[in-house]
Structure formats: structure tokens, C-alpha cells
Amino acid sequence: MAGNSFGTLFRLTSFGESHGAAIGGVLDGCPPGIVVDMAFIAGEMARRKPGQSALTTPRKENDTVEFLSGIFEGKTTGTPIGFIIRNADTQSGDYSEIKSVFRPGHADYTYEQKYGTRDYRGGGRSSARETACRVVAGAIAKLLLKHYGITIQAYVKQTGSVKLELAPEQLDLSYTEQTPVRCPHLETAQRMIELIEAVKAEGDSIGGVIQCIITNVPAGLGEPVFDKLHAQLGKAMLSINAAKGFEIGSGFDSVNFKGSELNDVFETTNGKIVTKSNHSGGIQGGISNGMPVYFQVAFKPVSTIMKPQQSINLQGEQTVLTPKGRHDPCVLPRAVPIVESMAALVIADFLLLQKTLQH
Amino acid sequence: MAGNSFGTLFRLTSFGESHGAAIGGVLDGCPPGIVVDMAFIAGEMARRKPGQSALTTPRKENDTVEFLSGIFEGKTTGTPIGFIIRNADTQSGDYSEIKSVFRPGHADYTYEQKYGTRDYRGGGRSSARETACRVVAGAIAKLLLKHYGITIQAYVKQTGSVKLELAPEQLDLSYTEQTPVRCPHLETAQRMIELIEAVKAEGDSIGGVIQCIITNVPAGLGEPVFDKLHAQLGKAMLSINAAKGFEIGSGFDSVNFKGSELNDVFETTNGKIVTKSNHSGGIQGGISNGMPVYFQVAFKPVSTIMKPQQSINLQGEQTVLTPKGRHDPCVLPRAVPIVESMAALVIADFLLLQKTLQH
Amino acid sequence: MAGNSFGTLFRLTSFGESHGAAIGGVLDGCPPGIVVDMAFIAGEMARRKPGQSALTTPRKENDTVEFLSGIFEGKTTGTPIGFIIRNADTQSGDYSEIKSVFRPGHADYTYEQKYGTRDYRGGGRSSARETACRVVAGAIAKLLLKHYGITIQAYVKQTGSVKLELAPEQLDLSYTEQTPVRCPHLETAQRMIELIEAVKAEGDSIGGVIQCIITNVPAGLGEPVFDKLHAQLGKAMLSINAAKGFEIGSGFDSVNFKGSELNDVFETTNGKIVTKSNHSGGIQGGISNGMPVYFQVAFKPVSTIMKPQQSINLQGEQTVLTPKGRHDPCVLPRAVPIVESMAALVIADFLLLQKTLQH
Amino acid sequence: MAGNSFGTLFRLTSFGESHGAAIGGVLDGCPPGIVVDMAFIAGEMARRKPGQSALTTPRKENDTVEFLSGIFEGKTTGTPIGFIIRNADTQSGDYSEIKSVFRPGHADYTYEQKYGTRDYRGGGRSSARETACRVVAGAIAKLLLKHYGITIQAYVKQTGSVKLELAPEQLDLSYTEQTPVRCPHLETAQRMIELIEAVKAEGDSIGGVIQCIITNVPAGLGEPVFDKLHAQLGKAMLSINAAKGFEIGSGFDSVNFKGSELNDVFETTNGKIVTKSNHSGGIQGGISNGMPVYFQVAFKPVSTIMKPQQSINLQGEQTVLTPKGRHDPCVLPRAVPIVESMAALVIADFLLLQKTLQH
């Protein structure tokens, strides 16, 4: 393990710096025969890319995926799928400040401490640019999961103080993509947009919470005792840039209830075993129970802001960072497809693992 | 991967069912020369074991660890450390109800769905009994970390509605072990005890939040982009029975601040680079920055309650579960050493991984 | 990875020193529902244990396996199978010489160099005692493979200069267990026995070659490009104590033929695709083709001999090791079940991996 | 595990088909600060590429490596090194025969059985084209090992009946690159060349044995009990196309000696502990002892020949394959850098693993 692979059987290994020649990845373990819907993949990439709306950074990223292997006559072959995304718009500009100063909230200092060196251009490996590779692999995972009827949908539930209080089942998630902020409740979406615009005008940034819901997960997925379904989902989400918290089902709110209130009671409906409530988020003992799996992920405000900030340089001397360039006041809308992609990788992996139990 | 191993280099593989002959584990990758302080290990086990106080289940567990290998003349040898803990008090009693009925909130149904069978006695593999093995391995990890001056301390921050609002640095953590509820703030601890006793009297259960703080973590630990320090900590914590949420640093509360407020500004103090605030929990870009690492874990109320509950049997027919036996109204106090142990395993693993970068 | 686990999905983790309290292991990933035939397992252990005949060491090993988990009502449950074997006859005798002198051919020196310490009693972790755990896990693997009709049979093909020239298909392998030397050709077996007795009388030791043949392996097993079926079999065999060489199919003898002679030509027989010859050992491109898989493993003479030998002590000073105790003049007969066990672990693992391709 | 990654810490993940857009890989875990000597890497690639001499296939491969990440200002940064090699000369020609007929000795049939599909162009993933990626990663591993003074040298020891009987220490290995057959003994080399030319004239192919010797390996490398140094070397070598056998040290020849003859006796020379003989190949108990590590690898004649061969088609019907195109009568000379590369990956990985024991 050196940190750039994810999954056991359905396994993504990624590489690439923000301003290097390209980012890319290898997806190993994808079963053969999956039709690789290139339009779908491009659509997923478009959901993640910068510059989609006035709410996000105007920076352009060339998110054209070039597949290099593992696909033949339009289908996966079972061999590793190699892909790259060229870094086209990498303004090899003025890095003199970022080279010598550790930006607050960024990974400049920790990369320098870990490796004794760093590719400082645009944040290098620590840039969220690498999440594009997650979306490529996640899109293929979704194509696999479609064979099982499994759907994964995420949306922005909260931005700063603007919070959507309705539960996923009370919403029409087909609205999610209709607003630039990816909140399916249009009235709340409008308030989120207003908040983000106000924050942007200040040169500041704001975080929020993404809700994700996975339906038609078959009962039985998850590998106790350490690789529990929600433990692996948690790791997947917390590995996304700016993620600070994860909760499955009722999560932190579970604290406010007693066992008698929170236990999900089983019942048989139309010959199918279900639970009356779903506080557990579709998981007991780390294994899916057939109910929808849902979870929430908290994202901090991105560290790049358009305000002067105090910091120190490589020599440990105090300095002031002057804002420049462009920034993303709120990454939540763009994080929605990343959350979905990581969830898809987790579910695909556990789905393959579960096959090994049959004999 | 089949789910019962944790860690890459410092790696625990565990086994055992609640009511089988024994539980146990193999700790591979522990460096040689660590003095195995048996009294310390026994002390850690005592912190986890049931029946410590009136607040926990009166069930007795024989938590005597027998080490079988990997230790010679009182020190680790670098070879795998095998250990077992016999299941002494396994009242091979009346399992007829649990055998045929799926208890709400428990993993009976999901194990049955996953494996097509299950050892139903006392919950089998899904019982929290297995966490005893985590504490054994965690204790050895702590002994390793002591060589680096790293300390790991957890405490109960919240139980139901009773919440300790003070931050770790405002507390004297040496008080933690002085109350049966493992909350270092004695007045709050008293209110927690009263709440738990009330809940117990009702035959109900209550959850809460554990705070953990790790000091003297050297800068540089964590393996981006997937095995970020907080991502692996999150997985570790979420793999603990009844854990439902995890947050690093300011976590979900980060949503309530702007970037300009949340960015931890670097400064040099006494020749050492530190951050003025520590909202990030000592981690940037998935790598420790040398500041204290802290996080919070939410636990739901345990599913076993002393009240009749509706459920279904193996045939999918509705039935009522009648309460019997004994129960733990609040597992938070006993979860404190488990949280610490899992944190110790994570830090030890990353510490070894970091050594591989030097050449 | 710290070296004491083998396999990806069907995965053995082992522990234990020769003269510690016990050796043991955890077998994770075994599918549920396998009937654990204890008599079969005991039989496999008996094939490996010392003192079976006048040909092997008279040392007694207590090879009684105690299963601690993962088995319920006589069947595997899908949870990890923990097991231990107590070290009963561990004559805690005089280790003063072995403590301070590095025995030639043994791992005393290399363990000391690697770990800076070692449990010197009986060779510690480097003793072949640990292979008992491989046989336990291998026996369970065989029980799994029986569901697929896969059989694994090994035998002694060569001892010193005595070599059985017949191919496996020319032999009746049911004779293997009828001779203490485990060579199915009785006349050759007799010559092997005479050689071993002569070598024993000299206080010396002798090596040999084990042949293994696996039938009914379904086409499709093996994971190119690195985890080719024969690559993993090779690793498995070379990890056995005293193994020095491995060859698949015609192996080193392939060098003596031209491509036109060695290519295995496909044909259809009774509607089934087979190859006319089987020089490849049932594998092309690292994947099984449905023909028998066979391979050979070379073992050096064991290092323990009953003759004085020159060596050096911990201080690097020259000394003479005086022979004492008991020795195994030829371990080949006892290595037969170990070779089979490792082969069973490999095949079981690839069988589970292959299931993940179906969707 | 899906078979396309090798190594634990120093870890290559490769992808690519013979006639796809590109092959490539990700090398994760390489320590930072290694100067990436591009001329050296190109030289290594040149040693492997086809068309070097009249002895090898005239097929041209565009072996220009494009590095995409993980290198900054000429040095490794510690982040994953992504690289690709375009498949330039992929004559998208007439694949109608190979599409519908299973070539003897090739992996056409087994890939079809494993995956239910295959990229049949040029053998797809099963082509030795993928070994170019191993050489890229191996070259970087060699650059790392140079920091430790470790050298890896392989040469052709045998081709068909022409065998070099001298031991490595009796040879001047600087001659290896002076002959197109990569045998350092010029007279033997000449006889090998004559043999290969004769075989080529017949349209046939021939195999052989490669010897590899690694010097300055520090004592202590290797991870018993399963990941022994020679076990991992064996797996590495057996994963190379056409490899059929592996032996460490005296290997299969060990069978011809008694323990008293084969034990390598320790002695102290100039204050350094060495062994008088080195039958073990520098390894005891799976751990390096500081002496040179050497091993032999057997390669079968390549399956592609210029003679008509019987085979069957996708429908299982008998057919005759007519020779066409170009072929490599003997791949041994080109396999030399591949053997060295895989050895370098193994040693680099164990070197990093060994660092984790220090504390």
C-alpha cells in the first residue's frame, strides 16, 4: 500500500499532479462484457468539471478521458482499463509565491514534511484535480451496477446555514441536476445559490453537507469485522478533498434517541423482508439489509480564498499571502458526482467480493 | 481481503465468535524489541471488559489474554504475535428464540443473508466480544507508540442529551478514568451517570459521542490520496460495533464557518511550525501536520433492550421478542479503550509506512 | 504485508514458533457451508507429523488441532477459522549452543540480522514446525475443492540419485501412501528407502524432488499478468522450508525442445477441448486450460546433520558445532502433504477470484 | 487483487494490450528524491525492444516512455509515477485467423475461457509487449538500488543444447552486452548465435536459461514465512512470459548432494561474516545473508513458429494454422533485462519493507 489504490477486487489505482502532463488511472478487476457508454462517462465528467456555472471556479479543465486499454469493441474485456486525462490548461505561470510559502488549510506544508519535496504547481498531487480519475472509474462502476439495478444518487443537503430538512424519500431527486447547486428542492436551491454568491462576492468560501442514497443494494454486502460496508464507505468519502465528516443513517443524530426508538423493526411486506424505519441506513453489523443505504458527508469551506492571509514561508518566517487568480467559493455541487463515484467503487467491490461466497 | 484483517504493515487479523471456544488474533508486522508490558495490557483489557460498574452489563467476560508467539524473553521478536482469549462464561443456554428470530438492530438477519447460515449464539461473530482482540493489539500498538512519545486519549463527550461542551485542551484528561462513565469533567460525568441509570431503569439504551485526541504525532503520517490519515481513522472507528458517525477536527461543524474563519494559520513558535487554530484536527491533505490529531465518533444506543419488541422469524412471520437476560444501557464508557486501540493501530501502521520513504 | 499471510480471498495467516506455547493460524475467506471433516484433517496432519516411520525424525510433535471459531454445527460459517496446535513436546532443554552459534544452512544468522534478535529455541519461527498450520488450512481447502471435483496428489519423484522416470499418468497414485517414502512406484520406493537409511546411518541428509498433479482444474484460473497460476504456485512451493526450485509442466526440460515439439496442440475429444500433449502443465498465459496441472519442486537436504560442522558464534569467532539430538535424514515424504496443502490454498484462492468475473 | 499489480510498498500496476492505444503503468511507493536518469531508462528499454539484432523479431515497437506524473525537476517526488508507451506500429491488419482460431501454446484459448471474450489482436493482454512496463519500473528500481550499491546482472546461460558451464564468479559480466545473445562468454555466445540462426532458418524457436546475480544485497531482506526472498523472486520470474522454471542457488542440483556437502559454512573474513560456499544463493530461511543472491530461470521456446500447425477454431473444429508474419526464434536475449527488472522490483520492495523494522 502506498495510498494510491482503492478497492480490493474492483480496484482503482490513480496518478497525476494538477499541473503535470496528465492525470490518469488503472481500473483493475472490472468484469468483462460491460458496455462502456462513453457518452455517460463524458456526462459524469461534465458534472465534476470546473466552470459549469457562475457558482464554480472559471478555471477550465480539459476533462477528456482517453481510454488506453481494457476495452475492446465497446466492451470491457476483464483486463485492466488504463486511462489518462491531459492537463491542458495548466498555465505554467508564476509559482514563486506558492513555491516558498505554505498556504493555510492546504497540503503544502504536510507534503513538504512527508516527502521532503513537492510539486508545488497548483497543489500538485494534493489538488482536487485527481478526483477526475475517481469519476472516470466511478462511472464504469455505475455501468456495472446498472446490471444489478443499483442506483446511486447524491445531492447537496446543506450549504453553510441553508439546510434542506426533508429526507431523501420526500424528494424528487430528478430535480437535482436542474439547479447549478445540485439541490433537488428548488426553493432551497435558490437560497443556497444566493448564499454562495454572497460568499463569492466577499472572496470567501463556504462548505456544506452532501446526502447520498443508494437503492436496490442487495442484502449481504459488506465484510465484517473491519471492512464493514459503512466503514469502507466512510473511508471512501473521507478520502475526498475537503471532506471532514461522515455519518451512516441517522449518524450523529442517533445520539438523541433511545434504543427502543432507533431500532429498525423488521416486517414482511409483499413477501419481502423490510424494516419499518431505516435509521440504520440499510446496514446492520456492517452488512447491507436490502433497504436503501444512505449517508451524509460534511465538507469544509475550501481553503483557497480571495483575501489576504497570514502564513509562513519555507524558512519559517511570517509572511502574507495575497489573493490571486480564481477560486471556487463552494465545491459542494461539483463534489456530488465524486461522492457518487466513490460510493459506486465501494458497492462494486463488495458486490464482487460477495460472489466469492457462493459455491 | 475477507474483512478480518486491519492495517498494511502493522496488521491485526482477528477471529472468534461470542460463544465459541475462544476469540483471538494475529498481530503481524510489529517491530522487534518492544517490551511487552503485560500489566499494561491487562489494564487495557480491564477498561473494556463488561461488569466494571453498575453502568455496564453484569455479564462476565474472561478477558485473560494468552500470548502464544512472537514474544521472547519479554520482548517482541518481529514475528507474528498470536493470542487467544477463552470464552469462559458462555452460558450455553437457551438460544431457541435468537435462533429463529431476527432481533431488530442486530446483525442476525444480515449475517443470515450474507452467509446463508450463522452462529446465532450470543450474536456470534457480530458480537462486540471481538473488540477485545482490538484492545490487545491496540495495547501493543500503544507500547510501540510510547517509543515515539505519542499518546492517545479518548473520553465520553456526550451521552444522549448530556454533552460536555469544553474542548480537549480545556480539560484535565487524567480525570477520565476516575469516573465509571469515562468523562473527565466530573460534574458532567455525574449527569451522564444519572441519565444512564434512568435509561437502564426503563430497560432502554442510549448512545453518545466519544472524543479522541492524539498528541505528538509527527508531521508526515498518512498516505494520500486514498489512505489519508483521517480516512483510515474514519474506517477504523466506523468498524467498531454501534459506531454511526465520524468527524475529524471541526467535522460537521465546519459547515457553519467560512474559509477565512476555518483556515488554520501557520506560525513559528519557539522555532517550531504550528498552526494558531486547529480546526483541521492536525491534518492537511490527509497528512499529519504535527499538531494534535482529534476526532469524534458517534455511537447509537445498543440494540439490546429490556422491552418487548416486534420482529419476524426465519419464516418471515411476525413475532414478538421478549426481553431477557442482561444488557448494557450505554456502551460508551467501554468503547473508550476500543476507540483508542483502533487509533493506535492506525497511527502505528502509518508510522511504519512513513519509514519506507527515507533512503 | 508482513509475510505471514498467504492468499487474497482464501487467506491463511499463521503464527508460532517451534518451542513457544503454540502455533496456529486464521483462515479467512472460506465460503460457508463446507462440512469440516475432522477425521480427514487429522489424517492430513498425520501425514506431515514427525515420527511416522524409521525414515523420519523420532521427535514427537503434538499435532492435535484445536479449532476455535468459524465452524458451527460441523460446517464453516464464512467467518474466520481460528485454530491452534499446542507445542507439547518442547523439551525446554539445553539451548546454550544454538543460542550463541549460527548453524550452517539454518536461518539463525539471517533472523538475527533481520530482527536483531531471535527465539533460538528449536529454530523459532524458521522451524518447519510452522508448516503444520499450512496443512490444517490446506485440508480445509481440499474439502472446498472436493465440491468441484478437484484433486491434488503429490508424491516423491526423486531422492538423491534415485529417480522415478515415469510420468504421473503412467502411475497408480493410490500406491503413494503405501510406502513410508511416499513414492507410488514400489520398486523405486524401496531403493529410496535404502538410500535414506544409508544416509541416516552416516548422520547425513539428502534432498529430492516432489511431483504434484492437480486434476479437474476448471479452465480460467489464474490472474495475469503478475498473479499467473504457475507464478503463484511457484511462490507457494518456494515458501516451503528447504525448497530450492520449482518448475511447471516440462519446466527446465523445455530448454531441450523446439517450439514445434513443445507446443501443445488443441483438439476436440468427446466434445471437449483438450491438448494432445501437456508440456505446459495445463497452463497457457498464466491461466488454466482444463488439462491436469502438474509441477515439480526441488528440496535441498535438510541442514541438520549428525556430523561435526564448522561455524561461527555471535562474536564472529570460529567454533565447531557438535551434533546432538535427532534429525530427519530426508524430509521429502513429510513434505508431500505440505506441497499438496499449498497447492490447495492456491487453487482455492483462484477459484474464488474467478467467481468475481461473472455478472 | 486482480493480477495486474506487483509488490507491496514499491508497487507496479500495469495495463495495456499489444495492439491497443498504449501500454503503461503506475509505480507507487517509490521514495522521493531519486534522480530519474532518462538516458538510463531509455537504454534499458533498448535492451528489451524487438529488432535489436538479426536474432530477434524484426517487428518494431515504439518503446518511447512518456512519464506523466510523480517526477518533478528531474527527481521522484514520492507520488505515483504514471507512464505510458504508445503502440505505434500496430499494423491493424488481418486478424481474421487469430480471431477464430486458438493458436497452440498461446493464451488465446485460456483468455477466452476466463473472460468469455478477448482482444485477439496480437495476443492482446497476453502479449509479451506488457513486459516493456516492467522494464520501465525496473529501471527506476535499479536507480533506487544504486543508492545502496546493489547491482543486478543477468545473462543467457543456456540456449537449447548450448550451455555455459562456468559460474557467475568465473565470468566477466561486462561482456554480456557485447554480444547480441547476451552471453558474457564470447565463445559460448558464438555457438548460441549459430544455434539460434539455424533454428530461425527452420522457422522454429528455441528456449533456454537465464542466470541472474544480485550483489551487495544487505543481510535481512525477505519476509518469512510466506514472502521469503526467493519465493517472491520465483513468483516474479515465473510471471514473465514463457518462463517455466525457477531455482535459487544450487536449485534442482541440490538433490545431487548431501547435507554435509551443501551446507554453506559461515566464516569471518576481514571482520565480515560470509559463507565459504554459496549453494544457498545468499538466502537462509527466506532472508538474505549478505552474500550474492543468484538464481536461474528456464524459458520455453516461444510458441509462435513459422511452420503450419494443427489447431481448433472457436467452434472446436479442427483447422490448420498457416505461418505468417515475423517471429522471434529465441527471446532469451531480450528477456535478460526483463529478468533484471523483476528482480529489481522485488529487491526494492523488500528493502523498503525492511526499513519498517527499525524503531
Phi-psi region of C133 (alpha: psi -120 to 50; beta: other; left: phi over 0): alpha
Q: A147 in contact with C at a CB cutoff of 8 Å?
A: yes
Q: D352 in contact with B at a CB cutoff of 8 Å?
A: yes
Q: D114 in contact with A at a CB cutoff of 8 Å?
A: yes
Which residue of C32, C147, C355 is in closest CB contact with A355?
Answer: C355
Q: D7 in contact with A at a CB cutoff of 8 Å?
A: no
Q: B226 in contact with D at a CB cutoff of 8 Å?
A: no
Which residue of D8, D9, D359 is in closest CB contact with B147?
Answer: D359
- B313 beta partners: B101
CA distance B133 to chain D (A): 23
Residue C318 CA, distance from chain mean position: 35
Global pTM reads 0.97
* pLDDT at site A209: 98
Q: What is the mean pLDDT of residues D224-232?
A: 98
- A336 beta partners: none
Which residue of B3, B107, B226 is in closest CB contact with A6?
Answer: B226
* Chain D residues lying within 8 Å of A24, measured CB to CB: 68-69, 82
Out of A239-248, B14-23, C87-96, C265-274, pick the least confident.
C87-96
- C299 beta partners: C208, C243
Q: A239 in contact with B at a CB cutoff of 8 Å?
A: yes
C182: Cβ contacts below 8 Å, ≥ 6 apart:
C154, C155, C156, C176, C189, C332, C333, C336
Q: What is the pLDDT of residues B281-321, one digit of tens each?
A: 999 999 999 999 999 999 999 999 999 999 999 888 999 99
Which residue of B25, B26, B69 is in closest CB contact with C17?
Answer: B69
Q: A92 in contact with D at a CB cutoff of 8 Å?
A: no
Q: Which amino acid is at A304?
A: T
Residue A79 pLDDT > 80: yes
- Write out the H or E segment, with its range, that includes residue D96: helix D96-100
* Nearest-angstrom CA–CA distance, B72 and B67: 11
Residue C17 pLDDT > 70: yes
CA proximity to C225, closest of D243, D300, D222: D243
Under the banding of pLDDT at 50, 70 and 90, the label for residue A63 is confident
Cβ <8 Å between B15 and C77? no
Q: What is the pLDDT of residues C122-131, one digit of tens each?
A: 899 999 999 9
* Nearest-angstrom CA–CA distance, C106 and D299: 31
% chain B with pLDDT above 90? 86
Searching chain D, which residue's CA lies closest to the CA of residue A8?
Answer: D1
Average pLDDT taken over every residue of chain D: 94
* pLDDT at site C52: 78
CA distance B282 to chain D (A): 21
List b or e across A244-276, with b for residues whose CB sees 16 or more CB atoms inside 10 angstroms.
bbbbbbbbbbbbebbbbebbbbbeeeeeebbbe
Q: What is the pLDDT of residues A28-52, one digit of tens each?
A: 999 999 999 999 999 999 999 887 7
The structural domain count of chain D equals 1
Q: A78 in contact with C at a CB cutoff of 8 Å?
A: yes
**Side-by-side strand order, sheet with A151-159:** A162-163, A151-159, A208-215, A293-299, A243-248, B243-248, B293-299, B208-215, B151-159, B162-163
**Which domain, by its residues, includes D268?**
5-358
Q: C60 in contact with D at a CB cutoff of 8 Å?
A: no
Q: Which three cell numbers stand for residue A336?
A: 456530488
| CA gyration radius, chain A | 21
Cβ <8 Å between D316 and C219? no
Cβ <8 Å between B82 and C22? yes
- Write out the H or E segment, with its range, that includes residue D37: none
CA proximity to D207, closest of D118, D334, D319: D334
Cβ <8 Å between A4 and D68? no
Query: What is the number of CB-based contacts under 8 A between chain B and chain C?
Result: 168
* Chain B residues lying within 8 Å of A106, measured CB to CB: 284-285
* Chain C residues lying within 8 Å of A29, measured CB to CB: 356
Which residue would you say has higher pLDDT here, D78 or D89?
D78
* Chain C residues lying within 8 Å of B81, measured CB to CB: 15
CA distance C143 to chain D (A): 22
* Nearest-angstrom CA–CA distance, B337 and B54: 18
* pLDDT at site A2: 76
* Chain A residues lying within 8 Å of D77, measured CB to CB: 115, 117-119, 124-125
CA distance A334 to chain C (A): 31
The torsion of the CA quartet A213, A216, A221, A222, rounded to 10 degrees, works out to 0
- Neighbouring chains of D at 3+ CB pairs within 8 Å? A, B, C
Q: What is the pLDDT of residues A305-359, one digit of tens each?
A: 999 999 999 888 999 998 877 778 999 999 999 999 999 999 999 999 999 997 5
Q: C59 in contact with D at a CB cutoff of 8 Å?
A: no
CA proximity to B70, closest of B118, B124, B24: B24
Searching chain D, which residue's CA lies closest to the CA of residue A31?
Answer: D115
Which residue of D17, D79, D114 is in closest CB contact with A125?
Answer: D79
* pLDDT at site A94: 67
Q: What is the pLDDT of residues D290-319, one digit of tens each?
A: 999 999 999 999 999 999 999 999 888 999
Searching chain A, which residue's CA lies closest to the CA of residue B14?
Answer: A225
Cβ <8 Å between D67 and A116? no
Q: A90 in contact with D at a CB cutoff of 8 Å?
A: no
- D23 beta partners: D85
- Neighbouring chains of C at 3+ CB pairs within 8 Å? A, B, D
Q: Is the ipTM of this complex over 0.90?
A: yes
D57: Cβ contacts below 8 Å, ≥ 6 apart:
D50, D51, D326, D327, D328
Which residue of D8, D144, D358 is in closest CB contact with B355?
Answer: D358
Across chain B, which distance is largest between two alpha carbons, in Å? 69
Q: Which three cell numbers stand for residue C357?
A: 468475473
Give D274-338 as a DSSP string.
Answer: EESS-TT-SEETTEE-SSPEEEEEEEPPPS--SS-EEEEETTS-EEEEPP-S---S--HHHHHHH
- Neighbouring chains of B at 3+ CB pairs within 8 Å? A, C, D
* pLDDT at site D341: 98
Write out residues 13-32 of C within 8 Å (CB-CB) of A: 29, 31-32
- Neighbouring chains of A at 3+ CB pairs within 8 Å? B, C, D
CA distance B352 to chain D (A): 5
Q: What is the mean pLDDT of residues A182-209?
A: 97
C190: Cβ contacts below 8 Å, ≥ 6 apart:
C179
Q: Are C4 and C126 in contact (CB under 8 A)?
A: no
Cβ <8 Å between C266 and D161? no
The residue ranges of chain B whose pLDDT is under 70 are 1, 56-62, 89-94, 359
CA proximity to D239, closest of D165, D163, D130, D348: D130
Q: CA distances (Å), A280 to each of A287, C314, D342, in order?
A: 11, 60, 48
Searching chain D, which residue's CA lies closest to the CA of residue B2?
Answer: D1
Under the banding of pLDDT at 50, 70 and 90, the label for residue D117 is very high
Searching chain B, which residue's CA lies closest to the CA of residue D356?
Answer: B352
* pLDDT at site A98: 81
CA proximity to A127, closest of A57, A200, A207: A57
Residue D1 pLDDT > 90: no
Residue A61 pLDDT > 70: no
Cβ <8 Å between C84 and B81? no
3-class DSSP state of B176: helix
Q: Packing angle between helix C131-146 and helix C332-355, nearest 10 degrees?
A: 50
* pLDDT at site B57: 67
* Chain D residues lying within 8 Å of A25, measured CB to CB: 26
Cβ <8 Å between B356 and D29? yes
Which residue would you say has higher pLDDT here, C105 or C88?
C105
3-class DSSP state of B204: coil
* Chain A residues lying within 8 Å of B239, measured CB to CB: 225-228, 231, 286
* Nearest-angstrom CA–CA distance, D338 and D49: 11
Q: What is the pLDDT of residues B80-90, one digit of tens each?
A: 999 999 998 65
| Burial classification of residue B271, based on how many CB atoms lie within 10 Å of its CB (0-12 exposed, 13-18 middle, 19 or more buried) | exposed
Q: Are D102 and D34 in contact (CB under 8 A)?
A: no
Cβ <8 Å between A357 and C147? no
Query: What is the number of CB-based contacts under 8 A between chain A and chain B?
Result: 368
Under the banding of pLDDT at 50, 70 and 90, the label for residue C61 is low
Residue A90 pLDDT > 70: no
Q: Which three cell numbers stand for residue C189?
A: 520406493
Task: Please report, for the domain that includes residue A87, its CATH number.
Answer: 3.60.150.10
A265: Cβ contacts below 8 Å, ≥ 6 apart:
A275, A276, A277, B104, B309, B310, B311
Residue D185 pLDDT > 90: yes
* pLDDT at site A96: 76
Residue C62 pLDDT > 90: no
